[in-house]
A and B are shown apart, each in its own frame.
Chain A
Amino acid sequence: MSAQGLAGPGRHADHLARRRRVNRTMEILAWVAAAIAIAILVIVVYSVARKGASELNLNLITKDPIPFSLTNAPQGLANAFAGTLVIVGFAILMALPVGILVAIYLNEFAPAPIRNAVSMVLDILNGVPAIVIGIFVYGLLVLGHGQSALAGSFALACLMLPLVARATMEVLALVPNALREAGLGLGIARWRVTLSIVVPQTVGGIVTGTVLAVARVAGETAPLLFTSSLVGTQTDWSPFHALQSIPVAIYELSESPDPADHARAWAAALVLLIFILFASLGARWLATRSRAKMAAR
């Protein structure tokens, strides 16, 4: 740079102008990239909202679909909403306790090599494509026993588990060691220190992580195609039957040639999207709040 500086004031000014131009171009490109990313989101959300709003009414969640309907009787996707509630509910019941226990073990008990190894396993599980999880659960639970909502829940739980465990580990690591030491110093047993002092500090973070994980798996289609997709059109709450779900319903309706089916797919997509947007924004808000509380301590 100094050599160029010595070459004369004129060239130096040229050089600087060129560098400024490059800088300006790159800044503009970054602005454009951000604008494109936001435009994509706005376009997707806008199309779903515009196309879904017209069909969005109470019938959607109170009426069951009528296959091959020739009349204009109101139809809905009540069976899919009920099914998603059951499937996701049981998935939470399966993934949450295991995820929290794994995180407790890794953060509070495990020696470093085991912690590293199991963290790696969690990352690998997190990276397994959802459709492969579907194949796995099909082979493990569906083959020979038939589809059921519980098999679907188990598939979704496999996807939730690494998310919940990872989120819990992150908040456990934030709990100050002084708290553990204070508890142990009072002669409290280690398990009580962990369960009554350390874990309660992390409830906010665990809730956040769980909500984000639910938001992620509530829209998963691939694992449910294999485990809970051969379904009737009646609303059913039994976890032992294969139940319809919102994502599978959207997937099937989107491939239908009938525009009325598309309209219901959009409406269901809108409901799903609203739920997921609220869940992830709410979780983010919770996370900021609980982090601020932790920092204030």
Chain B
Amino acid sequence: MTSLDIAENARRPFTGRRVRFGDIALQVVAGAAAAAVTVLVGLIIWKVIDQARPALSKYNVHFIFRVAWNPVLGRELYGAGSFLFGTAITSLLALALATPLALGVALFLTELSPRFLKAPVTALVETLAAVPSVVIGLWGIIVLGPALRNHIEGPIHSALGWIPLFGTPGAGASLFTAILVLTIMILPIVSSISRELILGVPHELKEGALALGTTSWEMIKGVVFPYARGGITAALILGLGRAVGEAIAVSQVVGGGVFIHANLFGTGDTLASKIAESYQGATTKLQTGSLVYLGLILLVFSLVANVSAQVIVRRVARKHGITRGGRA
């Protein structure tokens, strides 16, 4: 009998002895806390659906792709189309910018960095993750926005303005600014998870590849990436979830508006930023309901994203024979 078996047996109530009140009490209280968490998540889903009801019952699923947001009384019409577009553009482009950067940082920290740089750079990158979104938004609106307008958006527009993508001169607050702000916010998340995954690649595999004469890049391409691929996918999904759900920083820099356009330097809104901007000013039940409907779309997306990331992590863990916690 191993010590684990003994511990397992010790967990079972010992028959033939009096049942201890304290044991039951602790188990019940702690179990109730765990049950409460589960109830809490259910309550969140129910409360959001409940508040979205005016819009849900009036618009049904037509709401989702309709491009409209007209709060004028008597001509009220709402739809999520333009915000879905804004959310998709900003978060996907932010992910596209952040992914190579984040993987670069992770590879630097695991494979390249001189020993004395490793700890400080890791701490700095994790610190970037802790900067509150409202501070990044403040920086985005006052420092980044004007700088982009004067040095990037302006010149690109005057040189390439005939391309619709650059067809607006840019006012500082734009989809482009939002993309950069989101990139900054998801970079540390993706890089710190990827770093842990790359650290988890067994040394024998890496050394085996190097011993066969590969360069370090070939070793990374041939051994590290295939091994960590599932986990990195999960990290990217989590980063995307973060970008999609970010309300405050985006609402500070995105400019607002209900359109679908191909202008990178034009303004827009995302699902989350629209809620943050308009919730306090909402006057009718239908408008509030429509805003919560936007939140419901966000909630559903975050549920799908998280569950799929978890499923991937667990499948990878099983494949590699790890039983607990893919991302320690």
Contacts and interface: CB of A to CB of B under 8 A. Distances in A.
Interface stretch (B17-25, B59-67, B152-160): B17-25
Contacts of B141: 254-255
Nearest to A104: B30
6 contacts: A123-B306, A132-B44, A135-B48, A189-B20, A190-B20, A273-B132
A262 B105 CA distance: 33
B215 A23 contact: yes
A38 B121 contact: yes
A30 B104 contact: yes
A85 B274 CA distance: 29
Interface string A171-191: 001000110110010000111
B139 A181 contact: no
B43 A191 contact: no
B7 interface: yes
A11 interface: no
**Quick one: which of A33, A114, A189 has the most chain B CB within 10 A?**
A33
Contacts of B318: none
Interface residues of B, number: 97
User: Chain B interface secondary structure, helix, strand, loop or mixed?
Assistant: helix
A228 interface: no
A229 B281 CA distance: 13
A105 B33 contact: yes
B133 A250 contact: no
Contacts of B11: 109, 190
User: Chain A interface secondary structure, helix, strand, loop or mixed?
Assistant: helix
Report the contact-size class of chain A (Cβ under 8 Å from the partner).
35 or more
Given A98-B33, A180-B10, A277-B127, A247 B132 contact: yes
Nearest to A176: B3
A180 B303 CA distance: 37
Interface stretch (B34-42, B161-169, B201-209): B34-42
Contacts of A177: 3-4, 7
A289 interface: no
Given A139-B48, A254-B134, A273-B131, 17 more contacts: A34-B113, A110-B34, A122-B37, A128-B245, A129-B302, A131-B245, A131-B248, A132-B44, A132-B298, A135-B292, A162-B37, A219-B131, A229-B280, A250-B134, A254-B137, A273-B135, A276-B132
Contacts of B248: 131, 221-222, 247, 251
Interface stretch (A64-72, A234-242, A264-272): A264-272
Contacts of A51: 142
A12 B96 CA distance: 36
Contacts of A219: 131-135
